[in-house]
Amino acid sequence: MIRIAIVVGSTRPGRRGEAVARWVQRVAAEHAAGLDAAFTVVDIAEFDLPLLDEPVPAMFGQYRNPHTKKWSGEIGRYDGFVFVTPEYNHSAPAALKNAIDYLFAEWNDKAAGFVSYGVGGGARAVESLRLALAEVKVAGVRTQVELSLSNDFVAQEAQPDACAPGERQGQLLARLLGEVSAWSRALRAVRVPDPAATDRDAALAAR
């Protein structure tokens, strides 16, 4: 079974990202049989990452700080990602971009989907993320979910700003999760070579 992280991309107090991530996880659970994947919420706020403070570029993998090593270990466990992001000033949150910049190999050859939210649905945040993630070799699926702050959240006494999208959004999310699961499974073969194929290549090279 492949493992997919639902990444909460905002660290702002009062953020709606946690509610959105819970909605994503609920929909994933409803379609678990067809997806054959395990979904886990990963909150970057819990990792206390300062502004990038590694002296060596991430592509060399020479991490020195405990917070980097902890973040590396977490992201390295997953085959794919669903990024939950608000839109701040036509882009993604600085905290999320910072978390991406910390690592390199841990992102490579994995798939990602995007669930955004904002006054305009957060589409421009996703566009900026697609560019950054392409550079660290993450393949972004086409389908994306855009949630409106006006229409897709409801205030509840026990759960302020609860995420309550409509049926259409749920259908889009189900499609997105299916794409991320399929692409993550396919790309795992790129990261983990088939032992039989490796043996065949070795035998041919020895001739």
Burial of 131 (C-beta count, 10 Å sphere; 0-12/13-18/19+): exposed
2-206 in CATH: which number?
3.40.50.360
- Cα separation of 7 and 132, whole Å? 15
pLDDT tens for residues 68-126? 999 999 999 999 999 999 999 999 999 999 999 999 999 999 999 999 999 989 999 99
Burial of 35 (C-beta count, 10 Å sphere; 0-12/13-18/19+): buried
Residue pair 82/177 in contact by the 8 Å Cβ criterion? yes
**For the chain, domain boundaries:** 2-206
Model pTM score: 0.90
- Cα separation of 20 and 149, whole Å? 11
One digit per residue, the tens of pLDDT, for the chain of length 207 reads 899 999 999 999 989 999 999 999 999 999 988 899 999 999 999 999 999 999 999 999 999 999 999 999 999 999 999 999 999 999 999 999 999 999 999 999 999 999 999 998 999 999 999 999 999 999 999 999 999 988 888 865 556 568 889 899 999 999 999 999 999 999 999 987 666 555 555 555 566
